[in-house]
Structures are given as structure tokens and as C-alpha cells.
Structure 1
């Protein structure tokens, strides 16, 4: 099984130490998100310097707060310092993050994704200086950097999934129920074929929220909190969950936005936990992970530890679900 780990933010563990542990335990890749507090790029550079074989990736950097040229240079530089081990995950993030954290307008996110990724790829692999005159992005004579770095996109809605099909090497959905991934990928496939690309070469690498504990109720509650947070934090995540659970997703979002976080988490059913994550005892969680990989369209699951419970669950979950523990 190809299994990646999104390094959790915890108060108890340094991300670099967790990345080293992940490599030792057989994870094929380690990824870092970036919202506030830590630059994923700087930390991944450190991780690249102290690891040997594990792939490193951004999961994700947003397409608003850095220019396409900066993103291309960042991807190329990470790939150089890691000796070719980098995958570069981008996404729109959310209105809250883009507007509140970065002070930018969250406008035309799909168009910005398309143009940003198109310019990144041209700068990375083009033969001539890049000229681009888009609706939102304009560059003139940017020198290419001659680095072939896989680009992943955390697209949720159908329009953004078409961007994956036209341009990307990988798709990183979050909160699309596992049983809906194959149908959701149909949009990617059609766009790829229209662009004369082979859809089978696009890696499906969803985030898989995971919590493992000897007390299965505690593990399930950790994933419930994760699902409630995302369903309540942005309409795109609510819509993703709503592909299978529309009424429940709406109720969760309403409770979360009303400030009743406990009620929101309590509305997440056991079925939703199984469709959107992995939770339970070590043995049960390992079996769930094997099942979703063998029975769905997933190529490469990316384990992510619920942030609100990361201090408690990170180390045990990373150990329990590690490939070397998968007998």
C-alpha cells in the first residue's frame, strides 16, 4: 500500500521528528499543510535534509497568497533540496483563510486555480521564457526552471475537478465520502480525455482523517470533531460531505456556525466516520484502511490526524497504521 502522512500540528511533537519516524515506519510520503504559525515550505526543507527516501509534499499551499512564479520557484527548489522527492499540492483553501489570514479577496477561486497551475507548470517545464495573459494572471518573460515536479490539486467541486483533469498529476480531495470518489472522479476523467491526457495517470490521493485508540469511542469522537469542523468551516466542505449525507451535512454546518460545536460533532454518525475517515482500535482501524484502499478508487491515502486531538492521538495513530505494522 502506498501510504502518506500529513504531518499533524501538535504541541508535543516537532514535525521534523514525526517525519523521520514516518520514514522509519515505512510511509512513502510526508506532507505538510499551511494555514498559520508555520511555513510548510521551510519545514519541508528541513525534513528533506534529514530524511533519505520518503517523498515530501505540500498539502496544501493556497493559490492566493503566493504568486504563480513564487509557487513554481518554491516547487523547483524543494525538489532540488530533496533530490527529486517533491510533490507539490495546491488548492484554493477557504474564504476564511484567504480573507482573514491573508487579507485577500476570495474571488474566482476556480479560475485562479486553473491559471495558477497552468503558469506553474509552464515555468517548471517550459523550454522558453513564459508569457501568459490570463483573466487574472499576467506574466511576461519568466525564465523556466527545468524541473518536472508532480502537481496535486485539492479540488472539491466539479469545476475545480475539471482543473485536475486538464492540468494536474494528482487529486487530493478532502471530505468527499470514499464511496463517492469514483463517481466524483468521472468529472476529472472527462476533462482529462478532452485535454488529450490519460486519466489513469492522475493519482487519487484523498486525505483520510484517522484516529486510533484502545478506546474506540474516543477515536470515533476525534474523527467526528474533525468532520464537524470542516463541514461547518466552509461551504465547499459541507457540499463534499453532502454528496452522500446532504441533510446531515446541513444540520452539522448549522450547529457549528451557531457556535454549538458539541452538537455539531454529535450529529456525525458512525456511518459518516466510516465513509470519511478511519477510527477505532488498532486492529479495526488497520482493517478499515485496507478496505477503503481495496474497495474504492483510492490510489494513495494521505492520513491526517484530527488537529483538535493530535496531541493525544498522533503518535499512536502513526504507529498503528504504519505500513510496517500492516500484516
Structure 2
């Protein structure tokens, strides 16, 4: 079984990126819905197809939204993305959300043998063309630098498009074209500052900033052993920094914690993953995740949720930790946890 991350949100929206310990996604979706989560999300890197998995969840649920968080814009064409999300939206009776990301070179080039070039332009045009193809019941034509389409019938589906943008220019693309922002490993203490770029771009485009949804990813771990739960976040962040040493993924962490990030990356490169995790400070754990006992985790999540730019925090149980903390985390942070 593949081991994607799993996510769930509190208290308004729940998200799920295909937990590795779950064989029956339909039953899992029903359980998440019963716990009060409003949405279920899947990630897509390697192992599972987001749209197929979300269709299984949609067919066994009535209320939860189903969203991709995220699929990348290189391994499917805009037309392919539009068809996939339109099909999912029909199965889900209008509950689908399309979350897009630029991906990264290791995934796009090493796995899919596609040249990773002009990612921000590709994000820009993909969002524009997908929105045009989805949002019309008439023929659609589009001419960009990367993509063209001429007189193809629109799919007439009203599907929100969110962006997982890290860098400043990509955040501008989000403000100009997207319905929502899915920041990942952007320090919670810097979310307001980072969102200013999104908001400024939206205002320049004549868009209403209040209409933009902000759902930050929140790595989460709940355990009766608070130290063990916090160690889950340390290991997750160390792996994230170590795996993307020369990538924008690491850079967003480095901008906030330059000395700590270099120390973590050095330990990771030396092959000492335990030392890399130990180098993640308590401040970093709290700025990039939610961890501890159920009470501690809920309290920290509530703090993040009160951030003025946050609509709903999207909690993610890190890869490979579902058996240890996954079910406990989902139950403890569920909107209906007090009734469970």
C-alpha cells in the first residue's frame, strides 16, 4: 500500500490525503463525515490517482467536499485536469475542489520524464485555461504562451481552483487567478505577511480579497505521549528540509529559520536523520505543526485558526506515521470529538 500523507481539518473543514492504513476509502470517507469534517482531500505524488480515490470517497458520502491538495500542473494537460475535475464534480454532486501546485523537478523530471521549465507560467496558464474550460457552456478558445485551444465545448461546472503557492511570484499568480491558497510549510507566524502578496495581486486584478479562501496545511500528531507526538513533527520537518535541499520547498523554511535549516540539512546530508530531527527546535515544531496530547493539539490548532487570514487549517498527518498517531489525531481533532 502506498504511503501518502493524510490530512484532516478542524473545526470547519477536514482533509484527507489517502491514509496508507486505509483499504476502504469509501468507509473512511463515511467515518470522516460522521466525525464532522466538512471536506476530504487527497495528495498526488506517487502511488495513487487523486481523482480516482476522491471518486470512491464521493460515492460513499453526502456532505463532505472532495478536493485535490494537490495535483501538479505538469503531468496532466489543462484539458486533462478540466475533464478529471469535471467528472469528479459530477460524481460528487458539485462538491469538488481543484487544488493545483507547480510540483518539483524530482517528481516531474525523474518520475515522469517531463522537462521542468517555466513552472509559474504553467501555473498561470493552466489555471486560466482550466477555469475557462470548466466555467462555460459555450465553445472555449484560449491562446497563451504555452497552451492553445480553439472552439472546444465548455464543461459547465462551477469548481473552485486553489493554488499551493510558496514563492512570492507564485503567490501573485494565486491572487490574480485562484479562488484559494493552500500554503504548505509556510510558518504560521508569517502567514499574514505572506498573504499580503496574494491580497495585493488580487486587488490589482479587481478581485475581492475576502472571497479568497486560505487553507494552510498543518502537519499534526496527537498522542498521550506529548514528546513522541512532537518528535513526529520534528522528523517530518527534517525530512522535508533534507529531501528538498536545493528546492523552493526548503527555501520557504530557510527564509524564516536560516541557521536552523542549514544545521538540519547538514545532518541530513551526512546520513544522520536522527540528528537532523533533533536539530528541529521547539519553536519550529510550533511554527510548522500541531503536536502533543489531544488537549495541547486542539489548543494550538485553535490558535492557528484564529489567525485573521486563515479560513480553515488543513491538518496533515505526516507520511509513514498513520499507524502510530493517525487515527488518534483524526479523532482528537474532529469537530465532533467531544461527542465521540
After TM superposition, the score normalised by the length of structure 2 is 0.92
> Helix, strand or coil: the match of 1:88?
strand
Mark the CA change 1:147 to 1:49 in structure 2 (over 3 Å): closer, same or farther: same
Native 8 Å contact 2:73 2:100 kept in 1: yes
Q: Show structure 1 runs of 5+ residues with no match.
A: none
- In the alignment, which of 324, 327, 335 is matched to residue 315 of structure 1? 327
Partner of 2:285: 273
Partner of 1:217: 227
- In the alignment, which of 58, 67, 71 is matched to residue 68 of structure 2? 58
Aligned: 1:123 with 2:154: no
Native 8 Å contact 2:136 2:157 kept in 1: no
Aligned: 1:91 with 2:101: yes
Q: How many equivalent pairs are there? A: 327
Partner of 1:145: 155
Mark the CA change 1:41 to 1:257 in structure 2 (over 3 Å): closer, same or farther: farther
Aligned: 1:301 with 2:313: yes
Native 8 Å contact 2:137 2:155 kept in 1: no
CA distance in structure 2 between the partners assigned to 1:93 and 1:257 by the alignment: 22
RMSD: 1.6
> Helix, strand or coil: the match of 2:321?
helix
Q: Show structure 2 runs of 5+ residues with no match.
A: 1-10
Cα shift readout 1:51-101 (whole Å, capped 9, x = no counterpart): 010111011111000000010111111111100111110101221111122
CA distance in structure 2 between the partners assigned to 1:224 and 1:15 by the alignment: 28
CA distance in structure 2 between the partners assigned to 1:27 and 1:267 by the alignment: 34
Moved over 4 A (4+): none
Native 8 Å contact 1:128 1:144 kept in 2: yes
CA distance in structure 1 between the partners assigned to 2:118 and 2:223 by the alignment: 42
Cα shift readout 1:140-160 (whole Å, capped 9, x = no counterpart): 222211111000110000110
- The 5-angstrom pairing of residues 135-284 of structure 1 reads 135-234=145-244, 235-284=247-296
> Helix, strand or coil: the match of 2:255?
coil
Mark the CA change 1:189 to 1:99 in structure 2 (over 3 Å): closer, same or farther: same
Aligned: 1:79 with 2:83: no
